[in-house]
Amino acid sequence: MLASLPMYALDVVRAANEAWWQGLARHLRAAGLAEVPMGLTWPAEREAHWRRSDLMFSQTCGYPLTHALAGAVRLVATPCYAAEGCEGPHYDSVVVVAEAAAYTRPADLAGRCCAVNAWDSQSGCNALADLVAPQGGSGSADGRFFAEVLKSGSHAASLALVASGRADVAAIDCVVFALLARHAPDRLQGLRTLCRTRPAPGLPYITAAATSDEDVERLRQGLRAAIADPALVDGV
The boundaries of the domain holding residue 39 are: 2-79+203-232
Say whether both 101 and 129 belong to one domain. Answer: yes
Residue 192 resides in a domain? yes
Say whether both 24 and 55 belong to one domain. Answer: yes
- Which pLDDT value is given to residue 140? 58
pTM: 0.94
Residue 84 resides in a domain? no
Q: Over its length of 236 residues, how does the chain's per-residue pLDDT go in tens digits?
A: 999 999 999 999 999 999 999 999 999 999 999 999 999 999 999 999 999 999 999 999 999 999 999 999 999 999 999 999 999 999 999 999 999 999 999 999 999 999 999 999 999 999 999 999 988 765 555 678 999 999 999 999 999 999 999 999 999 999 999 999 999 999 999 999 999 999 999 999 999 999 999 999 999 999 999 999 998 876 55
Q: How many domains does the chain have?
A: 2
Say whether both 195 and 211 belong to one domain. Answer: no
- Which pLDDT value is given to residue 143? 74
Say whether both 59 and 156 belong to one domain. Answer: no
Say whether both 186 and 208 belong to one domain. Answer: no
Strands 2-3 and 55-59: parallel
Residue 171 resides in a domain? yes
- Which pLDDT value is given to residue 101? 98
Residue 85 resides in a domain? no
Residue 161 resides in a domain? yes
Residue 69 resides in a domain? yes
Say whether both 63 and 50 belong to one domain. Answer: yes
Residue 186 resides in a domain? yes
Say whether both 213 and 178 belong to one domain. Answer: no
- Which pLDDT value is given to residue 107? 95
Residue 37 resides in a domain? yes
